[in-house]
Amino acid sequence: MSNILFGLADKQWIWVATVVFASTFVLGSYSALKLRRKTGRPYILGLVTFGWVLQTIGLYARGLQYGGCPLSNQFELVQFMVWSAIAIYIFVGPAFRVSLLGVFTSGFACIFSILSLVLQHWDNPSREPIFGDSPWIETHAALALFSYGVFGVLTLTSAMYLLQSRSLKTKNVVGGLFPFLPSIVELVSINRRLLLMGFVILTVSLAIGYKYFIQDLDSVLTIKLAATIAVWLAYAATLLLRQKFSLSTKKFAWACIGIFVAALLSLAAVNRSTQPNGSHASLATEHSQDAP
């Protein structure tokens, strides 16, 4: 079952958006690596924004069936995370003045989007309203996924830091991506700001979720609760250690990448452990699918 908007089904819109992200990634990489040209931010930003608008239409079309955010299965969770990461790049990214961030973000979007489209069992056909009457549960889920989008971009900038640091350490500073990557100090600052942003959003999301959790302790599965707390604690510890300068910038970057990978895996685990057609009377099942 699919929802048609402007002549295309929701998934078709998302496919077209994915093609735009893939084209942006290929064009940007070719421009930097082969033509040795700086990938102009306006041109990459324009393409990524175009893809994001197409994806927004696709997600909106799908959301119309629920009357809310489309966060009912793993396909939708991944798509919403990708959408959030791209939104961060479009609205916050220009302040970072990192010319390659658009190329990296479109690559990230392309990989995850293709994965979610190709693995068809991720998109099980749950098309019922999933958040009950409470808009707060939906806000909790959307914010949690949005924080994952921020952490996704943080993973990309952490990878950029490691690439740049390695190039400088190995003295391999002619050619490759080196001329197009920002300075070490700028990347360290961007990483710290992104972690702080993601952490604050995740904390707000969990605070909202906690309010409902204490009203109905059975509404959240133990595995989901444990995974959520573990992810939050891991990011909190990383942030704290970095603020106290107890963690080197290199270890910080690796930690950001590692936690994000673990968080994605835990998301999949939580999703698998959830009964697909559980009782809707309690929010437990659906809620457990929608957030980390």
Partner 1 sequence: MSREHDSFSVISINHEVAPLEVRERYSMDDTKVGALYANLRANSQISESLVLNTCNRFELYTETGEHASEQCVLETLAKAYQVDIEDLKAHLHLRSGRDAVQHLIEVAAGLRSQITGEAEIFGQVKAAYAVSQDHGYAGKTINRVFQKGFQAAKLIRNTTPVGQGQINIANVAVDLAGKIFGDLNAAAALSLGTGEIGEKTVKALRSRGAETFGVASRSQKRAEEVAREWGGIPRLLQDLEMYLPEYDIVIASVGADEAVITRQIIKRCFARRKGRPLFLIDLGLPRNIEKGCEDFDNVFLYNLDDLATIADENLAQRKQAVVDARTIAEQKSEFIWNAIVKRREHEKG
Binding site for partner 1 (CB under 8 A): 35-37, 164-165, 168-169, 171, 173-175, 178-179, 181-186, 188, 245, 248-251
Residue with tokens 């909106």: 60
CB of 246 to partner 1, least distance (A): 9
Alpha carbon distances (Å) from 191 to 30, 34, 145: 26, 28, 19
Q: Which is nearer to partner 1, 97 or 272 (CB)?
A: 97
CB of 37 to partner 1, least distance (A): 6
CB of 164 to partner 1, least distance (A): 7
Q: Which is nearer to partner 1, 12 or 165 (CB)?
A: 165
Return the structure tokens found at 10.
């929701």
Q: Which is nearer to partner 1, 164 or 274 (CB)?
A: 164
Alpha carbon distances (Å) from 227 to 185, 211, 231, 273, 288: 32, 18, 6, 12, 11
CB of 177 to partner 1, least distance (A): 12
**Exposed/middle/buried for 127, CB within 10 Å: 0-12, 13-18, 19+?**
middle
Q: Which is nearer to partner 1, 81 or 188 (CB)?
A: 188
CB of 33 to partner 1, least distance (A): 12
CB of 186 to partner 1, least distance (A): 5
> Is the Cβ–Cβ distance between 212 and 137 less than 8 Å?
yes
Q: Which is nearer to partner 1, 212 or 254 (CB)?
A: 254
Q: Which is nearer to partner 1, 124 or 189 (CB)?
A: 189
* Backbone dihedral angles phi then psi of residue 54, each to the nearest 5 degrees: -65, -40
Return the structure tokens found at 105.
């973000």
CB of 153 to partner 1, least distance (A): 19
Q: Which is nearer to partner 1, 86 or 187 (CB)?
A: 187
> Is the Cβ–Cβ distance between 130 and 48 less than 8 Å?
no
Return the structure tokens found at 11.
């998934």
Q: How many CB atoms lie within 10 A of CB 85?
A: 26
How far is Cα 280 from Cα 260, in angstroms, rounded to an integer?
A: 30
How far is Cα 222 from Cα 270, in angstroms, rounded to an integer?
A: 10
Return the structure tokens found at 267.
């998301």
